Chains A and B, each alone.
Chain A
Amino acid sequence: MTAGQTTIVTPSIRRATRGSLFWILAVAGVLAVAVIALLLRGLTGSGGGETLSATNAAPGGSMAVAEVLKQQGVSVVETHTLASTRAAAGSPTSTTLLIFDPDGHLDAASLGAATGLSDNVVLVSPTFRQLRAVLPVVAQAGKADATLTAGCSVGAATKAGSVSGGGTAYRLVGDAADHALCFASGNDAYSLVQVQHANATITVLGLQNALTNEYVAQRGNAALALNLLGADPKLVWYLPSTADEAAAIPTIAELTPPWVSPVALLAFCVVIAAAFWRGRRLGPLVIENLPVTVRASETMEGRARLYQRSSARLHALDSLRIGSIDRLGVACGLPRSATVDDVAAAVAGLIAADPNRIMGILVDSIPANDRELIRLSDELLRLEQAVSDAVKA
């Protein structure tokens, strides 16, 4: 009996912790850095990088314009739902409303309600459906030129002089009593269309870039943006979001019983626990070196495939013949030194066959295809059988 110096292989919790202390600290450090970075990003705001957002300091945002307006005493409020817009908007006469909804979150009715909140509405790059809903007299007219000059009587436009173009151009398609068309791209296309509509001034602005942080400092972009948006003491910067969409459709959470999500979470926990239950090994794997397994007949099979692939019929047949001649010589009682001719003559004499036929089988025939090879191999077998029968008799 080998007696009991039992050492414990499994490390204790303290030893395991000490061993992996570096990794625990490293992971904790990385997590801490990630959390700090996330917090910092959250503090500096930027509203998630939304295009034309008044709190987005990225090139695509419009924080510059909003900040300058704030310094000039305009109260700028960014909203994302119709309800908050309604709450933020003061009296229609003292409020400018900017609506930018490239994803079409608002339906026609909501858009109509929104435009009704103010006397001075700026629609930035409205889509076809939005124009149909609010201002059917204006339509989209393709892309605007790269540089545009005012050429109209709207105050903001004349102060700007020339602006960097791009964006969508618009054209007037119906009769509008009081309208102004600025920044022509030719072919009746304009980048700023101002229409009096139901006691309100609606400005359709295709020059989306003029408001962005990236381009606001170029040419007269800043003058256009500030004058257009800073006319009233209050500016509501409305960027519709998914919250505005189809509020009537209930969510899945509202349709299902309240215990469904906790049960799903519980199922997840059960799966995790089951994984630990089945996955924990009872001790480490035991290692064993296994011997190689080499079948001795592999070389033979490989050689057979080589014969077959290269169609070495004669070669294959000759191998068979050598074996047969050997056995036939022994059966006929010839010495090992006997030649093929001796064997063929002895065989022919023994079974009373034509010596030429025997020579053909044993030496002369050349197989042209596989069928002949098989036939000749069968002939060899039959010959051996006949000789052994004759010898027995």
Chain B
Amino acid sequence: MALSGRFVLLVALGIVPIVLLGDSAVLGGWLLLVLVVGAIDVSLAGSPRAITIARDLPERVRLGETVESTLYLSNNGRRTVRGLVRDGWQPSAGASPGRRRLDLPTGERRAVRTTLTPFRRGERRAAEVTVRAFGPLGLVARQATLSCPGVIRVLPPFHSRKHLPSRLARLRELDGRTAVMIRGQGTEFDSLREYVRGDDVRSIDWRATARRNDLVVRTWRPERDRRVVIVIDSGRTSAARIVNEPRLDTAFESSLLLAALATRAGDRVDLVVYDRRVRGRVQGATGADLLSRMVNVMAPIDPELIEMDWSVVPELVRSVTSHRSLVVLMTSIDAPGASRGLLTVLPQLTRRHTVVVASVTDPSVLAATIDRSDRDSVYLAAAAERARLDVSRVAAAIRQLGADVVTGAPAELPPALADRYLALKAAGRL
């Protein structure tokens, strides 16, 4: 049951007979009349319970994109259902419009379209559909909520894919396959080919030249089929927002760019998201399948408010691969105290693998150190300097333990990490 504005207006119209007739008995009579009319109206309304619903919904959407969710409502009742229908999406699914008019004659089917523009990563759900059917006079309505669950997976946006073409061009340069005549920078011998003007004279293979009476150069290519293991810390510190983006999301962006690059470069990428238990794992996927599996695994993961357990990480990496590999730890470098867990396990990792620790830095800290305009900002600058000192001390400790450190603001960390990967690959350190 639900009343409409018309019903309220009808009750209010009772003022006319009451004032004209000036009798208090008129009030009771009017209210009775309104009740009777309302009862007749609701008894003539179509039954929302006689509606069956089917839902047509894409399985996934990238964050920031818009998709359409369609409900098909069929009326199996004896009367036309006229009224409102609402598809009960969670607020962050960004459903619009929230409610729609419905005119559904008996025995027919209508499509109700809702556009979804989710503004938060993860699984967005719609549990129920509510139908409100008004009577012919539009005074009183019958209302029922029908269960029709729907779920859409909102994938990480992968904004950093705009950096991918330039990094792939760099990769081709490394490969020696580029149009630019430079010497391939890899360490593995690839092949011999004829000298072309512009080639590095240092790469001329004199022995082959002597055999063929023609200048021949050696080409090199970077190593292939190496392993990259990305470990993402989804613990307490990854919930912190920097420039209104949680550290975890920046870590996802960085890993996606790195994985896209590494899989093109012929390396195998494995992903583990961990805090005190494995929250997500992608293993043994290659090519386009890798990225789609990664975003699928990442989508529903939110930071847990628990401390990251670093002691298990070496064992975790060993369970992924027994080969020497590039281990990328996506975490935060804050204070020496908070990073103790990371520092204690690093030697175990650096002994077998090349380790890169990637951390987001807060650009507001740098801004705070420069602003000294008044007393408050001087104290803030002191605290910011202190924070930077802490970070640099931890970074120095990590370097001392044989690992590499990549830091950057949220927008800069993904390309910085990709560049570091390319540099390691060029240097043949994988």
Q: Which A residues are closer than 8 A to B by beta carbons?
A: 1-4, 6-10, 12, 257-259, 261-263, 265-266, 269-270, 273-274, 276-277, 280, 282-284, 286-288, 290-297, 299-301, 303-305, 307-308, 315-317, 319-320, 322-323, 326, 370, 373-374, 377-378, 381
Contact = CB atoms under 8 A, between A and B. Distances in A.
B55 to A, nearest CB: 5
B239 A6 contact: no
Contacts of A286: 88-91, 126-128
Given A308-B376, A374-B375, A294 B239 contact: yes
A175 to B, nearest CB: 60
A320 B12 contact: no
For the complex of A and B, 6 pairs with smallest distance between CB atoms? A283-B130, A316-B382, A304-B383, A296-B240, A323-B385, A288-B90
If over half of B's interface residues share one DSSP class (helix, strand or loop), that class is named, otherwise mixed; here it is mixed
B18 interface: yes
A277 B5 contact: yes
Interface stretch (B138-146, B162-170, B186-194): B138-146
8 contacts: A273-B3, A292-B239, A296-B240, A300-B380, A300-B383, A316-B383, A317-B382, A323-B389
Given A3-B54, A266-B14, A293 B5 contact: no
Contacts of A316: 378-379, 382-383
Contact of B146 (A8, A277, A294, A377): A8
B90 A301 contact: no
Contacts of A370: 375
B132 interface: yes
B362 interface: yes
Contacts of A304: 376, 379-380, 382-384
A300 B143 contact: no
Contacts of B384: 300, 304
Contacts of B383: 300-301, 303-304, 307, 316, 319
A284 B147 CA distance: 11
Interface string B33-61: 00000000000000001011111110000
B389 A300 contact: no
A297 B381 contact: no
Interface stretch (B22-30, B260-268, B344-352): B22-30
A305 B382 CA distance: 11
A319 B127 contact: no
A300 B15 contact: no
Contacts of B387: 299-300, 303
B19 interface: yes
Contacts of B334: 299
B372 interface: yes
B240 A295 contact: yes
A377 B26 CA distance: 84
A9 B380 contact: no
Interface in B59-84: 72, 74, 84
B195 to A, nearest CB: 42
Contact of A319 (B2, B132, B374, B389): B389
Contacts of B130: 282-284
Given A9-B144, A277-B2, A282-B130, 15 more contacts: A2-B54, A4-B52, A4-B74, A7-B146, A258-B22, A273-B11, A286-B127, A288-B91, A300-B383, A300-B387, A307-B382, A315-B382, A317-B382, A319-B383, A320-B381
B376 to A, nearest CB: 7
B18 A263 contact: yes
Contact of B8 (A10, A274, A299): A274
B273 to A, nearest CB: 15
Interface residues of B, number: 85
Interface string B329-369: 00000100000000000000000000000000010110011
B144 A8 contact: yes
B374 to A, nearest CB: 8
A277 B7 contact: yes
Contacts of B380: 300-301, 304
Contacts of B392: 326
B54 to A, nearest CB: 4
A277 B27 CA distance: 21
Contact of A374 (B30, B150, B378): B378
A2 B305 contact: no
Contacts of A10: 49, 143-145
Contacts of A269: 11, 31
Nearest to B27: A262
A10 B11 CA distance: 28
A321 B294 CA distance: 45
Contacts of A323: 369, 385, 388-389
A288 B364 contact: no
B406 interface: no
B64 to A, nearest CB: 17
B19 A263 contact: yes
A9 B145 contact: yes
Contacts of A308: 375-376, 379
A265 B18 CA distance: 11
Contacts of B127: 286
A41 B74 CA distance: 61
B311 interface: no
B386 interface: yes
A353 to B, nearest CB: 20
A273 B8 contact: yes
Nearest to B132: A282
Contacts of A280: 1-3, 143
Given A286-B89, A316-B378, A9 B128 contact: yes
A291 B385 contact: no
A381 to B, nearest CB: 6
Contact of B365 (A270, A277, A297): A297
A370 B30 CA distance: 77
A76 B11 CA distance: 53
Nearest to A316: B382
Nearest to B95: A286
Nearest to B92: A288
A44 B128 CA distance: 58
A171 B124 CA distance: 91
Contacts of B57: 2
B287 interface: no
Contacts of A257: 22
B248 to A, nearest CB: 9
Contact of B88 (A3, A274, A284, A319): A284
B124 to A, nearest CB: 8
A319 B365 CA distance: 14
